[in-house]
Amino acid sequence: MPLPTHMNAAVYTGESRMEVQELPCPSLGHGEVLVRVHSCGICHTDLKKVEYNLLPPPRIFGHETAGEIVAVGEGVEGYEAGERVVVFHHIPCGECFYCQKRLYAQCPTYKKVGVTAGFEPAGGGFAEYVRVMDWIVRRGMEKIPDGVSYDVATFVEPLNTCLKAVVGCDPQPDDVVLVLGQGPIGLIFTMLIQRTGACVVATDMIENRLALARRCGAHLAIQANEPDLRDQVKALTDGRGADLVIVAASAPGIVDQAVACSRPGARIVLFAQTSNQETIRVGGGDLVAGERSLVGYYSADVDLQAESARLVFGGELPLADLISHRFALADILRGIQQALHPDEHSLKIVVQPQRWAE
């Protein structure tokens, strides 16, 4: 089957706008592959780039990408046309100062995006085809087993980012862990942390998400604005407060809430605060005199790539339950608005570029 010369893609054009355009289909270089995108999750980091105009246009965003290899460039080993894959858009060099410290997201090579549908590489998953560059082909793709849908496979990258934080903060079976926010990322945290044996307390403003958090293993699921939230957490900990707090949402006052609900010596993980336009103020005494640790975790860990794929593909986690909406590429603007302004029924939103319209 001949490859197309043109394709459709959702292009960020600046001033918080995106539009679907017809563009040339990417051409391949040595060691590269062309992937026909079947599913791409909408991630809030991409939403922030659009909403806050964090990067200059034009760009094609989308990085939670699953699809089928349709062409391989000269020199590609281990992959062939027809195979189904998940594509990571960042892979570190493995040799620099930051890689030696396992701070892969700070590696200069990692910061280079290695997947594009055109223009400055930006992930490209909001397009019908993406070009995967050679260093990503070598270390940044995972084959999707038979029986696993493309939609579910898109969770490999976001689950990796959460797994990185969970491994880093190492919750213990006798810990009480408070997860603030039960959007898709918060729910993944709830799933992963309950597997450690720790007691999970989940909060959100949307009741449907709280119900799902309970099904995902939360011991308590509480409205985020509940006046006695702090008291309920302390009741589980002999009056101390949570041992670990994961801030999986971005909202005014949420970090203050994390501090208030945590015990002295607790660890507080910031996960959703990825833009410099989101400022954080914490009382010095709460951190210093309270001996609390405030730490950020960001992006994926190549050392956990295979494990994240195993968890998604193995069906151990109810990830399919997180998908609330699927949009064709022509309707991506509706999907973006749904993600920016979630309602009672909104969770993970997936774009399916091979569907042109409803």
DSSP string for 73-119: -TT--S--TT-EEEE-S----SSSHHHHTT-GGG-HHHHS--EESSS
pLDDT at 262: 98
C-beta of residue 38 within 8 angstroms of C-beta of residue 66: yes
Extract the tokens encoding 222. 């509480």
pLDDT band at 207 (very low <50, low <70, confident <90, very high): very high
- Bridge partners of 208, per DSSP, are none
Amino acid at 21: Q
- Alpha-carbon distance of 202 to 298, in angstroms, equals 21
User: Tell me: the pLDDT tens digits for 241-298?
Assistant: 999 999 999 998 999 999 999 999 999 999 998 878 788 888 999 999 999 999 999 9
Q: What is the mean pLDDT of residues 32-60?
A: 94
Closest CA to 29 of 85, 74, 90, 77: 74
- Alpha-carbon distance of 137 to 156, in angstroms, equals 16
Higher pLDDT, residue 355 or 122: 122
pLDDT at 277: 78
Query: What domains lie within the chain, and their CATH numbers?
Result: 6-148+314-352 (3.90.180.10), 160-296 (3.40.50.720)
Instruction: Report the 10 Å Cβ neighbour count for 342.
Output: 16
The b-or-e profile of 273-303 (16+ CB within 10 A means b, else e) is bbeeeeeeeeeeebeeebebebeebebbbbe
Closest CA to 202 of 228, 231, 229, 169: 229
Cα–Cα distances in Å, from 250 out to 86, 255, 329?
28, 9, 27
Instruction: Report the 10 Å Cβ neighbour count for 225.
Output: 10
Answering whether pTM is above 0.85, one says: yes
pLDDT at 274: 81
Instruction: List the Cα angle 287/274/223 in 5-degree steps.
Output: 70
**Which residues, 6 or more positions from 351, have their beta carbon under 8 angstroms from its beta carbon?**
10, 39, 40, 41, 42, 62, 125, 126, 326, 327, 328, 329, 332, 335
Cα–Cα distances in Å, from 333 out to 19, 37, 47, 221, 328?
8, 18, 11, 32, 10
User: Tell me: the pLDDT tens digits for 153-176?
Assistant: 999 999 999 999 999 999 999 999
User: Tell me: the pLDDT tens digits for 333-352?
Assistant: 999 999 988 899 999 999 99
Q: Where are the alpha helices (DSSP H) in 236-304?
A: 254-260, 284-287
Q: Identify the helix (H) or strand (E) that includes residue 168.
A: helix 156-169
Tokens 């213990």 correspond to 172
